[in-house]
Structure 1
Amino acid sequence: MIKTSIEKGFKAGFSLAVGVIISDVILIALVLFGSQFFEYKADFDKYVGLVGGLFLLAVGIYYLVSKITIHYDSATLQKVSKRGYVIKGFLMCILTPSTLMFWIIVSGIISVKLNNMLNEKLVCFFIAMATQLAIDGAKSFYSSELRYRIKEDSLKKLNKIAGVVIILFAFWLVIKTYFKFYA
């Protein structure tokens, strides 16, 4: 999204974010609906912690090794299909299995903490989606405004830092889960 905002402008980046939010809302609805058919057991926590930790580890490694290239073209700022970027963001997110896995893990954690109170879960997810859209909107805005000041090296460094933080959190989650259940 930041890359799209830098290359195509705010409207394209924010439209991409809206598409991601729409797919997240659909996945959350599917997870919440599907979770009513499962009975919670405390043993699930260790699997959620381990799978979540491994998932985060993979995401962190991806951030460490991913390549970033930016194409600055001011002519493309004029021609932006907002609908196209909404569809792109939607498909990019909904077709990624890791997004579904993320919402299954988050929904499981929230379900345990809120003791299956649907109205509280809905409020929690609404706040999460509103926060995500606001932050993504701000990232899109500032990325497009500062497009010539943001260089590939800066984004590479940011990805490396994010990757290390995510990997550390993954290890913390796995260790915490391990000591909770196997100590």
Structure 2
Amino acid sequence: MLDDFITGISLGFFLSFMIGPVFFILIETSITKGFKAAVAFDLGVIVADALFFAIAFFSSFRLINAIKDDPALFLFGGIIMLTYGIISFVRLKKVQVDTLQLSPPNLHRDYLNLFAKGFLLNFINVGVLGFWLAIIITLGPKMDMNTERMFTFFGFAITAYFVTDLIKIILAKQLRRKLTAENILKVKKVSSIILIVFGLFIMVKGVLPKNENETIKLPFSNLEQEK
């Protein structure tokens, strides 16, 4: 149990600092919408991770291994992310600076929308499924593929991930006092551009040829697509 705890906590802390679209949008949400909004977004991300972990654990290895490298899924996810980034950027081009303000959500549906945004942004990245599959393949045998032990390990990892994200959210929120309306617009534009870049990156991964003999490796050295 102690080994599972240490491994899970280490993995969760590591995941929280992976550079990807979720990382940047979480920071942007905290700065522009506040603590509760960022937490709602992050909970959506976590639910997507939990769903992918469950799918990877309970599904057939051959099926998931085939799906995770399916170019169509990379293209689909990349197109959605790219389209969302472009639409957001175009809308911001029409926004007048003097109409912008730091306005946290005040309705339940606003927080639900942020939750859905976090879930979908993480879910459309099929690389996340590949990551959790690699984790299960690598660490599962060491835990005898015991369901209770595996999900306890995941609980440790996702808890460490969430706690670390809370610290990031709190620190990012401190920047709110220093932001002018013009800077708010810049932050939002940067987050839109980041989505466009990562959307293109995911699409390219679907187009590039893959080595059919390539085996799954634990992606600690190449996790830029994870978050």
Is TM > 0.5 for Structure 1 vs Structure 2?
yes
* Structure 2 gap segments, 5+ residues each: 1-25, 141-149, 215-227
Q: 1:165 aligns with which of 197, 216, 222?
A: 197
Letter in 2 for 1:32: F
Deviation at 1:96, TM superposition (A): 7.5
For residues 121 and 73 of structure 1, do their structure 2 counterparts lie closer, same or farther at Cα, with a shift above 3 Å needed? Answer: closer
Residue 130 (structure 1) aligned with residue 190 (structure 2): no
Letter in 2 for 1:60: L
Q: 2:180 matched to which residue of 1?
A: 148
Q: 2:115 matched to which residue of 1?
A: 93
Q: 1 CA distance for matches of 2:47 and 2:188?
A: 31
C-alpha distance after superposition, 1:104-143 (max 9, x if no partner):
751442222341632554444334333433333333331x
C-alpha distance after superposition, 1:27-53 (max 9, x if no partner):
443443454431111322322x54134
Query: For residues 19-98 of structure 1, what are the structure 2 equivalents within 5 Å?
Result: 19-41=40-62, 42-47=65-70, 50-66=72-88, 67-68=91-92, 69=95, 71-72=99-100, 84=107, 88-94=110-116, 98=120
Is the Cα contact below 8 Å between 1:59 and 1:166 reproduced in 2?
A: yes
- Helix, strand or coil at the partner of 2:179: coil
* Structure 1 gap segments, 5+ residues each: 7-11
Letter in 1 for 2:158: F
Is the Cα contact below 8 Å between 1:53 and 1:174 reproduced in 2?
A: yes
Aligned-pair identity in percent equals 11
- Helix, strand or coil at the partner of 1:125: helix
